[in-house]
Structure 1
Amino acid sequence: MILKKNEHFILESELELVYITVFMKGFSILNFNSILLEFPQLMLEHVKDLKQALMEAIGERISVGRLKPILELDIAEDKMSARVKLNCSEYYLKENYSAIVGTILENLHKENISEGILMDVLQNELTIKDFTDIAMGKEPVHGKDAIVTYFERSERKPTVKEDGKADYYDMNFLDEVKRGDWLGERIPPSSGEMGRLITGALALPRKGKDKKLLYDQKTIAAIEEDGKIVLRALIDGVVEVMDGKITVGAHLSIAGDVGIETGNIDFDGSVTVKGTVADHFSVTATKDISILSELGVSNVEEINSKEGDVFIKGGIFGKGLSRVSAARNIFVKHANECHLQAGENIHIGSYSLGSFLKAKNIFTDEKKGKLIGGVVEAQGKVRAAVIGNRMERKTIITVKGFNRNLIKEELNETLLLYKLKIKQLESIKDKLEVYGKFLGELNEVDHLQYDQTKKQQERLVADITQLDRKRKSIMDMLDSKGEGEITIRQVAYPETRLQIKSMEKKLNDTTKGTFYAENNHLYFD
């Protein structure tokens, strides 16, 4: 079939192949673009041969390409859509529109496409050159993942507040709950909605991933309410997180003072004293201790948290004998002639006067906090607004310092182990998900393996919690400048003696700034 004939050449097709015979020179390869526009079906495959034929015009019939089908049907691999491309001219489409639509429908039928055919598009919107969507399936609506929410514990971030009469040191320390109080909930995953392929087959949705509520079954109940699983306290107590699980910890609340009526307190759990602690009495607890009297405590024998934090809202008048210790942190408004020792950090809102303080890091309020007299020992950093006083009271600040490279190595090892445990936990979760689908069909051996896998999950969660706590502690240490830091935000007075690692500095003049150790040198910023 002759496609094009002029004084220069004959362009013809045979069995879908296209040939050209050139008789006369003078027809440029660039002019051939007009031929391509006239015949959209034409696909050139041998451009170099065509160019040579037009230049030499030796009258030899050569192959230059092939004819594309007028209609190209493209079906998506997922059978969710189909589109068509027309390789013809606008004139051809206009003159043969009904026949083309009929051919398209025949092709769809051959491919078993019966759903989502866009008849409006077929009848009115077909175009040449570009692909046009002509069938669209219904996408499945994938299920939503389970949503787990827990009671949000208060952040232990003390602040010095003013009420117009006096400053006071305050923060949300213990979160008390009563039996039946809400502690969390789980909205189960949804199954989603079926879709449909253009072939008529169902498109299955992906079910949402389930999530497990992690809670202590001895102190918290999981109850189905309005399609949700709700966690409610089984006992009165304080909200805690133990080994990655939310729990209600034992809590002793004393409405008044600790004294003759109560005797010394030794409690397995957390203790709140809403009054004060009388002279020569003590409070010991395995968990957190909170003493809320704005008058503070005076000349107590001992306040000791074996595993948690201590918060004394009104401060301590120790008379040189009182001892306060905590496995983690101590928060106190002021410390007057007492002994404070914390496994992590000591936070002082107002001042420390003539006291012995020992912790990883020691902080006072950056605007008003003072360290006057006594001995202050830290591992990483000490930060205070004022050190010493105008009377030049002797104050000793010692920072033992650390090896930053070794600490960084420890952090990297901790992070690697943390990631490994997370990966192991994900694997355990996948196993439990599979078990969960067949719980009713498990034999005795399978049930035993299922229980062992759950225990393994609990151990991993506990390990991850401990590693995360260690990570935060190391990061806090690395927040120090150099390899040990003492920061004076307002002023340090003469007779203040500073030591970082083995390097000492006695202040003879008022000073403000940061001292830090690096490469066995003491620097000042």
Structure 2
Amino acid sequence: MQKSQHLRLCTGGQPRRKFFHFECQGGSRLQDAKLHSLELVVSPDRMQADLIIHSEIGQIEITESEIHQFLKSQQVKFGILDHVIEQICDDPRRYVNQPQPIADGMPPVPGTDGRVEFAFQSLMSDEPKPKEMDDGRVDYYNIVSIPNVARGQLLARKVPPTPGIDGCDITGAAVMAKKGKEVIIKPGKNVVLNEDKSLLYSAIDGQVSFSEDQKINVFPVFEVKGDVDFSVGNIDFVGTVVVRGNVPTGFRIKASGDIRILGSVEGAELEATGSIEIKSGIVAQDKGSVVAGNTIKTSFIQNGNVSAQGDVIVSQSIMFSNVRAGKNIICRGAKGFIIGGTLQAGEKIVARVFGNASATPTVLEVGAKPELRNELATIQRELQVIHENMRKADQGLNVLNQLMQTTGDLTPDKRALQIKLTNTRLTMEKDGKKMDVRRQEIEKLIEGDSPAAVEILSVMYPGIKLVFGRMVRFIKQEFSHTRFVMIDGEISTSTLL
């Protein structure tokens, strides 16, 4: 049998692949001679190869040994699909000009990342479940929980990463697996690590708190037995604050840990590095603010200003409020409605009912962290001021230039004004360029892909303005059991099951 072999390269618009031809001529007599060729198409990563048979006339015969010899000549040593070779040899004509997978490599299995394992589950309970009573009602009075720990108690341990399993391409060459990433236990306040930094212990008796950068802290607890009033005053505490009554308008609570309010909050100012839980709800009358470095949980929000780096979880309703969440805004309780105001979430907004039959204007923004949107709005306002001031400076300089052309010179005070206006304009132009660069950066971040969604568990009424990144959609009809997402640059819908 006479054989020849040559190499071609496929360029075009596809990734470059190698094509190998192996021509075979068989038959005992010249008039019976039949010509066929074998072609091998190898993927760029050498993890897959396809075999193509070329033949123009007559019947062809191909043996398994011929194919194996061809594969060997092309350095294919691993993952050969013997059952495919058998099928081809049984009826070669059937596979002419039809690419057939002939060899598959074994992809590597990446290692698992290291993780932090907490000593008991209650420390990681992001959303304690309320108690369900015998009559089916839910007792939200029991959602407040404080995970207390003792001095010397183990809080967390580090689980090391795994190396992964190497793969192999069709030539038999090893494909290295990606190793798992190391994890670092981040100690906060009042905790200690052992020598190899794999175990974390509490240094005091107190409450565990997780800050937004995933540091683990243990804080002592400051407790107010009743309402916050003038006998207590404003509270600024390096730990967790528990108030067993209400927080009226005008008072301020600041905590390095968490804040737990068993009553209600009016137009007060609450700021916590950790989480904030308010049992009875927020009735702010557009006064004060509630700001948390992690999660905010409450029964309802009315005319409030609420902001959390993590989630905002509301069991009943959000009405005419400005609510911002770095991650999700969830309102899925028995009522679970959102009416009026502006809600901004980095990832998702979920509620049973959005808006009302009166089409009350309500703005829902998802797909970018609220702080980015607020920064972008601030930059846009400042750029408008800069451009207006630059326009006024240009007008003043034009007047001075015309005066100098007319008189041939400027008085000392006019020349001093000219220098001042020139320097001021240069400064404003420099500041404007910096702001414009930052504006473009934020716009790219807002336009980037994200798992943004708005989920309607029951109904959404007209009057809603949806904002995904920089895309806007006005709701002009009712939707029920629907999820809004961004697909291919458009706000699309799908049905919630």
Instruction: Specify the TM-score bucket, using the shorter chain as the normaliser.
Output: 0.3 to 0.5
Which structure has the larger Rg over C-alpha atoms? Answer: 1
**TM-score where L is the length of structure 1:** 0.44
